[in-house]
């Protein structure tokens, strides 16, 4: 009978643990190997060694209060630093009416936990969007209505001046709506994989920015080293590139005789490293941890919605990439984005990849 139950436990997807009355591990099923841990290496250790310090007391309270059966959730680090979340069913073991320890059944709920966290984050973002949208849409609308009333009653040339201000207000409103629309549209689209020529993509993006800066005041240099094929979601990569270039242009330093933006791409079989460096106004150190928050703006020097860098980081995360920033006020900023090199879809034809260096000024 013992061997039957042991075989049943060992062939389960759940982890079974036997603890003594001091909460040390006396037995743990071999399925724990799936999480990178060897059963023998865990024997004799306290079960509380595998949870976050701030959760250890809650973990201990739950196990101490077990009478017949109790279910609760806990996050454990069974191997390395990665946390796995489990629904724990705990049973008390009694020996001659005394506490003989606990039997735990651990059911992996990490996927459910991540979806719950994503839902919570989406709800929080939605709350921010609703508040910010009602605020940011109302202001330019009220301004536009006031300017329209003034324009209707004003003689020339004041009328032309009011109409110019009206257009500016409506342009700002339209930019905000377009940015929100783009964020939600790209967020709902499935990740695709296309062959990307970084040189061509950057040139295409810079062509779209021709009217957003004065070439005599801002020079843009490009250096692409792409000896490998690079595959990723073209629309999302373009979104990242758009926001980095827009940010560098928007926060150029008007006090400097000439502003320089350096765009560098280095591709290897594993990933592409995209760096956009500028000598603009820079970012105060106290704000550098917050610049990727939704609607956060570190300065009022330039107009913006506070969505650009939020969209940038969200898009990078959707591609399983990472982003870093270094900045010094008055010196400039450097943003570096690392994006994994995806595999080519089955049957997809390839094309020539060209590497090169160009200057746009």
Domain ranges of the chain: 2-108, 110-188, 191-361
pLDDT (0 to 100) of residue 179 = 65
Reduce the DSSP state of residue 195 to 3 states and report it: strand
Output the six-digit token pair for 128: 């921010």
Domain 2-108 and domain 191-361 have a common topology: no
Q: What is the third-level CATH fold of 2-108?
A: Beta-Lactamase (3.30.450)
pLDDT at residue 350 in the model: 43
How many angstroms separate the CA atoms of 76 and 208, rounded?
A: 49
Integer angstrom CA distances of residue 341 from 32, 183, 265, 271 = 31, 23, 13, 4
Question: The tokens of 40 are what?
Answer: 């023998």
Residue with tokens 């017949």: 68
Options 2.30.42.10, 3.90.1150.10, 3.30.565.10, 3.40.50.720; CATH of 191-361: 3.30.565.10
Task: Indicate the SS3 state at residue 188.
Answer: helix
Look at residue 118 in the predicted model and tell me its pLDDT: 75
Q: How confident is the model at residue 220, as a pLDDT?
A: 93
Across the range 103-127, mean pLDDT stands at 80
Top pLDDT among 359 and 324 is at: 324
CATH code, 110-188: 1.10.287
Q: If residue 98 lies in a helix (H) or strand (E), which one and from where to where?
A: strand 98-108
Give the HSE-up count for residue 189: Cα atoms under 13 Å, Cβ half-sphere. 15
């Amino acid at each position: 009978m013992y061997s039957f139950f042991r075989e049943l436990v060992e062939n389960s997807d759940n982890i079974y643990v036997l603890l003594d009355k001091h909460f040390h591990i006396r037995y743990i099923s071999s399925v724990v190997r799936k999480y990178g841990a060897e059963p023998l290496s865990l024997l004799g250790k306290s079960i509380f060694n595998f949870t976050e310090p701030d959760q250890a007391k809650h973990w201990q309270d739950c196990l101490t209060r077990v009478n017949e059966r109790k279910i609760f959730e806990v996050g454990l680090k069974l191997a390395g630093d990665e946390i796995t979340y489990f629904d724990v069913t705990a049973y008390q073991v009694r020996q001659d009416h005394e506490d003989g320890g606990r039997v735990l059944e651990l059911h992996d709920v990490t996927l459910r936990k991540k979806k719950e966290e994503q839902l919570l984050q989406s709800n929080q973002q939605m709350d921010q969007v609703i508040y910010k949208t009602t605020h940011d849409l109302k202001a330019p609308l009220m301004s536009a209505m006031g300017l329209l009333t003034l324009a209707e009653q004003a003689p020339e040339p004041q009328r032309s001046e009011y109409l110019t201000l009206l257009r500016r207000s409506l342009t700002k409103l339209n930019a905000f709506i377009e940015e929100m629309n783009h964020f939600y549209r790209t967020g709902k689209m499935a990740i695709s994989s296309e062959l990307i020529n970084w040189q061509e993509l950057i040139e295409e993006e810079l062509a779209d920015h021709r009217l957003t800066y004065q070439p005599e005041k801002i020079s843009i240099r490009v250096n692409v080293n792409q000896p490998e094929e690079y595959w990723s979601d073209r629309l999302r990569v373009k979104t990242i590139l758009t926001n980095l270039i827009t940010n560098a242009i928007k926060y150029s330093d008007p006090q400097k005789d000439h502003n320089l933006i350096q765009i560098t791409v280095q591709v290897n079989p594993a990933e592409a490293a995209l760096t956009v460096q500028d000598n603009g106004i820079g970012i105060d150190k106290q704000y550098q941890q917050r610049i990727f928050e939704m609607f956060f703006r570190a300065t009022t020097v330039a107009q913006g919605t506070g969505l650009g860098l939020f969209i940038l980081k969200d898009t990078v995360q959707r591609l399983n990439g990472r982003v870093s920033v270094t900045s010094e006020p008055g010196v400039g900023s450097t943003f570096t984005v690392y994006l994994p090199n995806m595999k080519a879809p089955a049957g997809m034809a390839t094309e020539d990849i060209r590497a090169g260096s160009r200057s746009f000024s």
